[in-house]
Structure 1
Amino acid sequence: MRFLKVLFWLLLGGLVAAFVIYNGNERVAIHLWGGLIADFSLPVMLILVFLLGFLPMLLAYHGLRWRSRQRIAGLERALTDIRAVTPPAPTAAPEAIPAPAAAPATSLFPEQGA
């Protein structure tokens, strides 16, 4: 699984590098308030916009994951406390099931002429 993660990030990095190489000279003018104009490089602009959308979801994911781990740890602590307080119930050995009595041997074809 780790190999696939590394491969994915390497491919994504390669795509970004190729995009930067082929579009490095492109400029984007962003009109701001008051007549201000911000002039950005296209690759820098797209990488910033991607990170602006990706980072909040990444932070939310890690927060959810941390909270889930805390809840699981709390439940495990509660379970160990319950097991420490309550002694295990004695279990009786299962009774042996008696084997069925052997049926008398009967022939499917009784002897003829008897």
Structure 2
Amino acid sequence: MLRTIFWVVVIAALAAFSAANWVPVEVRIWEGLLLETRLPALVIGAFALGLVPMWFLYRATRWRLTRRITTLETSLNTRAAPSLSSTNLEAAQVQPPRNETL
């Protein structure tokens, strides 16, 4: 819910910024190379250049940690499974008390 609210606020702010600043700007890339674009396109491009690599890093880290957790859980389950053999289960069962009369 909070993530959705955050992205709605970011998109609304970007739309308001774009409407107020729809002016052409010149960006000098090299000495003889000029790029004429609108200011909102420049801001969105800069935002994407910062967001996309960090998002890929986040997703890759999350994928790697999920695989690691799955591997550790699997190894824990295979190590714990032999201790629950049938002989241990029979010994662990509670025996009803015997009525011994002398």
TM-score bracket, shorter-length normalisation: 0.7 to 0.9
Q: Output the CA distance in 1 between the equivalents of 2:58 and 2:3.
A: 17
Gaps of 5+ in 2: 95-102
CA RMSD of aligned residues (A): 1.9
Cα deviation code 1:7-36 (max 9, x no counterpart): 111111100000011111x22211233512
Alignment of 1:1-114 (within 5 A): 3-24=1-22, 26-33=23-30, 35-87=32-84
Higher relative contact order (CA 8 A, sep 6+): 2
TM value normalised by structure 1 = 0.70
Give the number of aligned pairs. 89
Q: Which has the higher helix share?
A: 2
- Extract structure 1 runs of 4+ deviating beyond 4 A: 88-91
- Percent identical among aligned pairs is 33
Which residue type is aligned with residue 64 of structure 1?
T
Cα deviation code 1:29-77 (max 9, x no counterpart): 1123351211011000010011001111110011100000000000010
Partner SS, residue 86 of structure 1: helix
